[in-house]
A and B are shown apart, each in its own frame.
Chain A
């Protein structure tokens, strides 16, 4: 392995981290510092851009270029930034409210355009900074300060939005899964285009234990599956279970039971162009099928800022002008002597 040029400390700012003790954001921040060191892009070539919310404070804790913008607009700011300076590696940090409610429009459009950004979507299914209202990812019936009798609406499932907007990269991890989190962040950075990483994160104050069904140590091995491209989809404490195709759907089976063998288990293909199976994998929620973590979809496509740049260069080469005056003089003019 090549020696790393940078360490996690190179990406840490001198600012005191103000998240609540026990907040899942601390773990995610620490992993991001490590992931950036592994990626190897220098801090001065890295920018972290966010909107508003607990997670959006993250840029202040980075020793990179950073911009803490306004609620929901991190994606739009990051898009303009990346188009203006495609050489920079750009990270966007958003929460479920910032990214999917007030910033929902920018979210689907940046994914559709496939701007080369790494978008960390920290999903705690609650508004923390405003002290406990339901979010667009809260389940139907969820009781919060703004839904004292339970919500009467269905949530977004972030992966579905990404696939609906023809996303080219989707990965998922959990704040407590440090290794997987680092793995998906590095993969996100290496993918050209909008890389959406959903991070299930615990809000210790207003929504403590919201992901417990998944993260609970007792059951985590049975309720999650770590997908790796090219590898069999196995899970369980002893990797004794697998995912098999079942008609148009997926099914979890135990190897050696009901005649299923290792040969029936699907091999993960994150690079498959069509997203039909990726969607099914991303929609598994830990109940009948384990929740998928790891890189679920990672396909190559044209990225927006590179195409904007390329087109400008092509046009300039074929019919470009040296300066404004030359361009105007090439049009309709007349001379007064």
Chain B
């Protein structure tokens, strides 16, 4: 069951959606959410550009926020106009009829007096006088009109809770936490929420309530987590498992800023999160912290990654552990700051001067951000290399229910430290482990291991500055071998779906939920399709070529013009790679993938 809340960006749709998701997760539903909000903090009220949406999918077997909604809540005509396309034909549209006056329609650029007909709305419309009901509910309070109007979202939430049979007390509890320091505001909102719930109860006539199946899930404690928070937590877990203090150097940038926010809060776990003066100092302060011996991280989005390029190159040359989180958004340039895309892949792989191979990973879902942030840190520390973790606006802001892991579920991380006996063997900073090619980490403050690192090429034997041609080639190849060797330390590529399939659908990173749902759907229709979702991009899992060869059709679906397809094609010239692409700042719809796969399968 999919619900979409829509309203002005000041209407509190994100809050209403979040509470509804959390309450649903609390009764055992799987959830997947998708906040879809404008870049402007507050666009003019009631206009099309100011509409903010929040979609949540609840139930069993939920891997995406759903292509289209069963129920759409629209707080004004602008929200209805921009969101009607996300409603299933014949679905339920709940509107605040008090906000559909002539002036409201004009503001949202309607030409006629019949908004439903004008936009061709195919829905059971439930007209609710929300504004007047809210005013009536709060008539005896001392709140001013502006504050009263801010409670409208809670009326909608109360109504939706009734419609889906959600426990309204849990919703109130969540709200109480949110307004723990403003009891009067909480009281007003709770009252309005109850009024919305009661209103539903009283007008039952028009729509029936929904009952949603729950899934039996693994026992344990659960919480609702979005991708950015999960990323921050995964890094903290890696810090605990490696014994290295966590340092973040960052600069605010949409949609990555929540990682900075979360880690700044985590001073309660000893995290040092520094808001630096720009993106460059974000990465450079992290490099300094890595030199000092910390698990060092910088978080950003595409434009920030561009600014960090030179710094990442320094970390390549100095062979220091460094984690770079890129929460991808629509580009190029400022592009679509709040929208999702997978267009930074080539930048992550190649966006530096010189031969500068690094490890690139991608998280597949909001909760997978935890695991992949942990992996990024593990690989950086154990292999003395920068690692870029690609997430995206969709999984960074979207949330899912997540089982809180026990402390022993993640492995210990072993930093590649110098060993005390090396002090007596004329140790040099660029000495490497023969097999892995990983150099040894000497933490400043340790007696007997003073050394100088730098961006200039170094001699492979003495570690002094060197411009020797043969030595340079040797060092370039050593750095490459070091990164290539990481392939031995990552899981094999998994194939899911129909085991007799002759068609392989490939995705990477945050499209996993949509691709999995599409493959499940195709399998259910008897189509022989399997799925391989890449989370390790550079180096690729060692079985990649052999997996690709098993299939007649190989299709890469991604939210760009074919960056991963090109990359795979270059490494597997014998395989014909087909493509499904979308570059609209929006996630795939499952239907777009199933249609695309069927079309390619039928061509043959």
Chain A residues with CB below 8 A from B453, complex form: 66-68
Contacts of B274-309 to chain A: CB distance below 8 A: 274, 276-278, 280-281, 284-294, 296
B-side interface mostly: mixed
Taken together as a complex, chains A and B put the C-alpha atoms of A49 and B25 apart, in Å, by 50
Closest Cβ neighbor of A331 among chain B residues: B223
Q: Given that A109-B277, A320-B269 are contacting pairs, would A83 and B247 also be in contact in the complex, using a CB cutoff of 8 Å? A: yes
Chain A residues with CB below 8 A from B224, complex form: 332
Q: Given that A67-B318, A70-B310, A325-B405 are contacting pairs, would A62 and B452 also be in contact in the complex, using a CB cutoff of 8 Å? A: yes
As a 0/1 sequence over residues 463 to 496 of chain B, the CB contacts with chain A under 8 angstroms (1 = contact) are: 0110000000000000000000000000000000
Asked if B288 and A78 make an inter-chain contact with CB atoms under 8 angstroms apart, the answer reads yes
B573 close to chain A: CB less than 8 A? no
A60 close to chain B: CB less than 8 A? yes
A336 close to chain B: CB less than 8 A? yes
Closest CB-CB distance, B462 to chain A, in whole Å? Answer: 10
Asked if A77 and B291 make an inter-chain contact with CB atoms under 8 angstroms apart, the answer reads yes
6 contacts between A and B (CB under 8 A): A59-B452, A69-B454, A70-B311, A109-B277, A324-B233, A332-B177
Asked if B449 and A44 make an inter-chain contact with CB atoms under 8 angstroms apart, the answer reads yes
B38 close to chain A: CB less than 8 A? no
Asked if A335 and B268 make an inter-chain contact with CB atoms under 8 angstroms apart, the answer reads no
Asked if B456 and A68 make an inter-chain contact with CB atoms under 8 angstroms apart, the answer reads yes
A79 close to chain B: CB less than 8 A? yes
Contacts of A143-186 to chain B: CB distance below 8 A: none
Asked if A315 and B287 make an inter-chain contact with CB atoms under 8 angstroms apart, the answer reads no
Chain A residues with CB below 8 A from B445, complex form: 44-45, 65, 85, 87-88
Taken together as a complex, chains A and B put the C-alpha atoms of A82 and B292 apart, in Å, by 8
B237 close to chain A: CB less than 8 A? yes
Asked if A336 and B449 make an inter-chain contact with CB atoms under 8 angstroms apart, the answer reads no
Taken together as a complex, chains A and B put the C-alpha atoms of A51 and B512 apart, in Å, by 42
As a 0/1 sequence over residues 307 to 328 of chain B, the CB contacts with chain A under 8 angstroms (1 = contact) are: 0001101100010000000000
B404 close to chain A: CB less than 8 A? yes
Contacts of A100-149 to chain B: CB distance below 8 A: 105-106, 109
Taken together as a complex, chains A and B put the C-alpha atoms of A69 and B454 apart, in Å, by 5
B39 close to chain A: CB less than 8 A? no
Asked if B450 and A43 make an inter-chain contact with CB atoms under 8 angstroms apart, the answer reads yes
Chain B residues with CB below 8 A from A311, complex form: 267
A267 close to chain B: CB less than 8 A? no
Chain B residues with CB below 8 A from A75, complex form: 281
Asked if B456 and A105 make an inter-chain contact with CB atoms under 8 angstroms apart, the answer reads no
Asked if A319 and B268 make an inter-chain contact with CB atoms under 8 angstroms apart, the answer reads yes
Contacts of B426-468 to chain A: CB distance below 8 A: 444-456, 464-465
Asked if B294 and A84 make an inter-chain contact with CB atoms under 8 angstroms apart, the answer reads yes
Chain B CB within 10 Å, residue with most, of A73, A309, A320, A335: A73
Asked if B454 and A316 make an inter-chain contact with CB atoms under 8 angstroms apart, the answer reads no
Taken together as a complex, chains A and B put the C-alpha atoms of A134 and B294 apart, in Å, by 39
Asked if A68 and B274 make an inter-chain contact with CB atoms under 8 angstroms apart, the answer reads no
B501 close to chain A: CB less than 8 A? no
Chain B residues with CB below 8 A from A312, complex form: 267, 270-272
A63 close to chain B: CB less than 8 A? yes
Taken together as a complex, chains A and B put the C-alpha atoms of A301 and B491 apart, in Å, by 51
Closest Cβ neighbor of B298 among chain A residues: A80
> Interface of A with B (CB < 8 Å)?
13, 15, 42-45, 47, 49, 52, 59-60, 62-70, 73, 75-85, 87-88, 105-106, 109, 308-309, 311-312, 315-316, 319-321, 323-325, 327-329, 331-337
Asked if B269 and A80 make an inter-chain contact with CB atoms under 8 angstroms apart, the answer reads no
Chain A residues with CB below 8 A from B284, complex form: 69-70, 73, 76-77, 80, 106
Q: Given that A84-B296, A334-B25 are contacting pairs, would A328 and B289 also be in contact in the complex, using a CB cutoff of 8 Å? A: no
Chain A residues with CB below 8 A from B313, complex form: 70
Contacts of B53-89 to chain A: CB distance below 8 A: none
Asked if A49 and B174 make an inter-chain contact with CB atoms under 8 angstroms apart, the answer reads no
B236 close to chain A: CB less than 8 A? yes
Q: Given that A325-B407, A328-B233, A334-B25 are contacting pairs, would A60 and B452 also be in contact in the complex, using a CB cutoff of 8 Å? A: yes
The contact of A80 among B25, B220, B266, B285, by CB within 8 Å, is B285
Asked if A73 and B311 make an inter-chain contact with CB atoms under 8 angstroms apart, the answer reads yes
- Top 8 nearest A-B pairs (CB, nearest first) are A80-B285, A80-B288, A68-B454, A76-B284, A81-B288, A76-B281, A84-B292, A66-B452
Taken together as a complex, chains A and B put the C-alpha atoms of A59 and B272 apart, in Å, by 27
Closest CB-CB distance, A44 to chain B, in whole Å? Answer: 5
Taken together as a complex, chains A and B put the C-alpha atoms of A325 and B405 apart, in Å, by 7
B189 close to chain A: CB less than 8 A? no
B210 close to chain A: CB less than 8 A? no
The contact of A64 among B278, B286, B310, B450, by CB within 8 Å, is B450
Taken together as a complex, chains A and B put the C-alpha atoms of A5 and B419 apart, in Å, by 27
Asked if A320 and B268 make an inter-chain contact with CB atoms under 8 angstroms apart, the answer reads yes
Closest Cβ neighbor of B409 among chain A residues: A325
Asked if B314 and A70 make an inter-chain contact with CB atoms under 8 angstroms apart, the answer reads yes
Closest Cβ neighbor of B23 among chain A residues: A334
Asked if B223 and A332 make an inter-chain contact with CB atoms under 8 angstroms apart, the answer reads yes
Taken together as a complex, chains A and B put the C-alpha atoms of A111 and B313 apart, in Å, by 26
Contacts of B193-216 to chain A: CB distance below 8 A: none
Chain B residues with CB below 8 A from A335, complex form: 219-222
B26 close to chain A: CB less than 8 A? yes
Closest Cβ neighbor of B222 among chain A residues: A334
The contact of A324 among B237, B287, B288, by CB within 8 Å, is B237
Chain B residues with CB below 8 A from A309, complex form: 272
B604 close to chain A: CB less than 8 A? no
The contact of B274 among A47, A65, A80, by CB within 8 Å, is A80
Q: Given that A73-B311, A84-B247, A84-B289 are contacting pairs, would A59 and B267 also be in contact in the complex, using a CB cutoff of 8 Å? A: no
Asked if A83 and B233 make an inter-chain contact with CB atoms under 8 angstroms apart, the answer reads no
Closest CB-CB distance, B318 to chain A, in whole Å? Answer: 7
Taken together as a complex, chains A and B put the C-alpha atoms of A83 and B174 apart, in Å, by 37
Closest CB-CB distance, B37 to chain A, in whole Å? Answer: 22
Chain B residues with CB below 8 A from A13, complex form: 452
Chain B residues with CB below 8 A from A63, complex form: 450
Closest CB-CB distance, B290 to chain A, in whole Å? Answer: 8
Closest CB-CB distance, A41 to chain B, in whole Å? Answer: 11
B227 close to chain A: CB less than 8 A? no
Closest CB-CB distance, B309 to chain A, in whole Å? Answer: 11
Taken together as a complex, chains A and B put the C-alpha atoms of A231 and B105 apart, in Å, by 78
Chain B CB within 10 Å, residue with most, of A13, A69, A82, A312: A69
Closest Cβ neighbor of B27 among chain A residues: A334
